[in-house]
Amino acid sequence: MPATIKDVAKLANVSISTVSRVINNAPNVNPNTRKRVLDAINKLNFKPNKIAQSLTATAFPAIGIVSLTRFSNEAFLPLILQSIGEVADKKDYEIVLNTSKDENQEIKKCISMIESKVIQGIIILSSKVNDPLIEKLYEMKFPFVLLGRYTNERIANEIYSVDTDNFADSKEAVEYLFKLGHNRIAFIHGPLKYVVSQDRLSGYIEAHKEAAIPVDYSIIKDGGSSIKEAYLAAKEILKNPNPPTAVFVSDDSKAVGVYRACQELNLKIPDDISVIGHNNYEISQILSPQLTTIDVPIKDLGIIGTRKLFDLIEGIPTEKRTILDTKFIKRKSCKSLI
Amino acid sequence: MPATIKDVAKLANVSISTVSRVINNAPNVNPNTRKRVLDAINKLNFKPNKIAQSLTATAFPAIGIVSLTRFSNEAFLPLILQSIGEVADKKDYEIVLNTSKDENQEIKKCISMIESKVIQGIIILSSKVNDPLIEKLYEMKFPFVLLGRYTNERIANEIYSVDTDNFADSKEAVEYLFKLGHNRIAFIHGPLKYVVSQDRLSGYIEAHKEAAIPVDYSIIKDGGSSIKEAYLAAKEILKNPNPPTAVFVSDDSKAVGVYRACQELNLKIPDDISVIGHNNYEISQILSPQLTTIDVPIKDLGIIGTRKLFDLIEGIPTEKRTILDTKFIKRKSCKSLI
DNA sequence: AATGAATTTAAAAACGTTTTCACAAAAACT
DNA sequence: AGTTTTTGTGAAAACGTTTTTAAATTCATT
């Protein structure tokens, strides 16, 4: 049986209150006594029971992450988890994972963790267009930070979030292609239930509007959330009777599917077709030719988002919405037609 | 302030013991009383405080996962986390993540979670050759399950683990290449500090031994843990004055680097060079030509490993070591030379 | 030396549950 | 009817801490 505070008290011949004071570095404890207690603690290898500590604090030091499935297939899960971990570690908080697959279970699990006092805050990894989880958490006034953007007008400006400007970045990429002389550009996006997919699509459309180039929905396709789906989408697009001269993919890993489709159809990148990706995953440098893409500071999203969450938890005033800078990275997958 | 058991007791006009009995579905409570209590619980939206519950149980229902960095770059982190989550959810256990980067911190964090009573068991995602964490946990007799194999003779047979037979699978792949008439086969492996990398290398070597084909270490290279490193390794190997006719890569995602290297050097797969991967990630079907590989049941590793851990926690006897079946998947990346 | 203030300590209450023990009431036996 | 068993309930202790209150000790001041 591990030692408790009582054992320490007995051995050091003091009361448990004194031991508690020593543990918590309270002032007002005689240096001699402190030493005696510290010795006892060492001798017994005493470690305070975190559960018991949180009972009086009425809060267990942990934050929740919701949820893996919001982008389970994406290359950045490890990065984002690790960056969240870095910040949480410094605060000596635990990270508890919500791995729920379906939406109902996801919410239920969250509420349960909150109500049973297991977590003090939540990081939401990505937002859906009408996100019942976000609505619910907002309504509960429970501290949470969204890594993304929420669109529901009523509360969009009220929630705390960290994001990049997907709309602008997407627009910029398309404009770059316009400048290169492309005016028939395909777009392969992720599942439109996610706001990030919507935003990237909107940027694509807005660029067209501003350039007065009509949007052709026959070359805009859902690339799902797997490489294979993107590959299938690309193949369909490229077989279009009036094929595009460029394709913009909303995720580098989906670009792998596009490259494959091009290869199969004997289309040379960038000579026959230009490609741009998004996110700047490692793979974008390995693809041949190297992929032009938009660098998203994934680790910073995690770090800054988690810091914001701790500000919320600790009642420190913090900016509602933080937009992180991105960088358009020109590589070898685009060709000028002019 | 959320309702406590006392509030419920008062409203239902019973003692807190009775409420507790209702919460825990104890027998011996009058149907009428039970109904009254249930009504009160609903009216107050009472949810037992898990922290308080675990204080008396002297154990918080959670398991730890150690650690992300043990294969942060691999495609199967989401899968494994999710499969662990599935099982833990059923048991109503939380999953707490250890995201430590360096080895010392990893151990410290683990010990701390154990000693402060935050977790009841640990899943170790992968083993190192001399793994101080495993040694320590074993010595502490703390319940843990390794997803992999441990080599330290003294305790190898004592620890609980789930794994595939990396040695045999690797050997089989090489033998397949032999049968196809290849006898100069390169090997690109992962970091040798991990047992899985060692085992896959050993299988490669053993196949050579049995076939009485000398092992040439100039075409065996460390592909690190990134696609880029694998790409670099492949390039070096392929430039060998006496180049191999096939390359076996210990991870499908590394195979992407190999494909890229071949392309750059104008080597056609499988005509000029055959390639075999390992793990059967989604990417292996997207690569062109589709990659011959070894299917590893990733989700099953997680599910069976976590079940085993719960057996340990609950004191149910369970098999020490479980080996899962794999499947050699022939696709288009190998050519017969005969 | 007496008073008051500051420091240090102990005792006890509290956090929200579960569990043990005791006892009353009801039911089942003689 | 009297005795035993079963059922249902409440009071109190326990889990391992922190926090509050109060008391004892030390120290400075007069």
CATH at A153: 3.40.50.2300
Asked whether residue A331 is domain-assigned, the answer is no
pLDDT at A27: 81
Note whether B112 and B199 are same-domain residues. no
Asked whether residue A195 is domain-assigned, the answer is yes
pLDDT at B326: 98
Note whether B290 and B170 are same-domain residues. yes
Average pLDDT over residues A66-73: 76
Note whether B196 and B124 are same-domain residues. no
Note whether B315 and B292 are same-domain residues. no
Asked whether residue A332 is domain-assigned, the answer is no
pLDDT in tens, A282-320: 999 999 899 999 999 999 999 999 999 999 999 999 999
Determine, for residues A78 and B72 on separate chains, whether the beta-carbon distance falls below 8 Å.
Answer: yes
Note whether B189 and B157 are same-domain residues. no
Write the CATH number for A19.
1.10.260.40
Lowest mean pLDDT among A72-76, A83-87, B142-146, B176-180: A72-76
With a 7 Å cutoff on the CB, does A269 touch strand D? no
Note whether A175 and A203 are same-domain residues. yes
**Among candidates A72, A86, A40, A31, which has minimal Cα distance to A307?**
A86
Query: 3-class SS at A259?
Result: helix
Between vectors from CA A277 to CA A250 and to CA A174, what angle results, nearest 5°?
80
Asked whether residue A93 is domain-assigned, the answer is yes
With a 7 Å cutoff on the CB, does A46 touch strand D? yes
Note whether A201 and A218 are same-domain residues. yes
CA of A34 to C1' of C4 (A): 27
Determine, for residues B257 and A286 on separate chains, whether the beta-carbon distance falls below 8 Å.
Answer: yes
pLDDT at A51: 94
pLDDT at B74: 66
Residue the block writes with tokens 């999203």: A301
For B55-190, list the strands marked E by DSSP.
62-66, 94-98, 121-124, 144-147, 160-164, 185-189
Note whether B36 and B80 are same-domain residues. no
Chain B: closest CA distance from residue A267 (Å): 14
CA of A3 to C1' of D20 (A): 25
pLDDT at B73: 60
CA of B18 to C1' of C27 (A): 21
The stretches in chain B having pLDDT less than 70 are: 72-74
Q: How many domains does chain A have?
A: 3
Note whether A98 and A45 are same-domain residues. no
Structural domain boundaries, residue B243: 166-296
For chain A, list the strands marked E by DSSP.
62-66, 94-98, 121-124, 144-147, 160-164, 185-189, 220-222, 246-249, 274-276, 293-295, 321-324, 327-329
Which residues of chain B have a CB within 8 Å of the CB of A228? 282, 285-286
Note whether B26 and B126 are same-domain residues. no
Chain B's closest residue to A3, CA to CA, is B115
For A38, the token pair is 């510290």
Note whether B129 and B271 are same-domain residues. no
Asked whether residue B231 is domain-assigned, the answer is yes
Asked whether residue B145 is domain-assigned, the answer is yes
Determine, for residues A96 and B96 on separate chains, whether the beta-carbon distance falls below 8 Å.
Answer: yes
Strand (E) or helix (H) holding A40: helix A31-44
Q: Which of A51, A68, A256 has its CB closest to that of B283?
A: A256
Lowest mean pLDDT among A161-170, A270-279, B49-58, B314-323: B49-58
Chain A: closest CA distance from residue B285 (Å): 8
Note whether A100 and A149 are same-domain residues. yes
| Banded pLDDT at A68 (limits 50, 70, 90) | confident
Asked whether residue B333 is domain-assigned, the answer is no
pLDDT at A73: 60
Asked whether residue A338 is domain-assigned, the answer is no
Footprint of strand C on the protein (CB under 7 A): A 13-18, 21, 27-30, 32-34, 55-56, 58; B 4-6, 16-17, 19-21, 23-24, 46-49, 52-53, 55-57
Which residues of chain B have a CB within 8 Å of the CB of A72? 78-79, 82
pLDDT in tens, A233-266: 999 999 999 999 999 999 999 999 999 999 999 9
Chain A's closest residue to B68, CA to CA, is A78
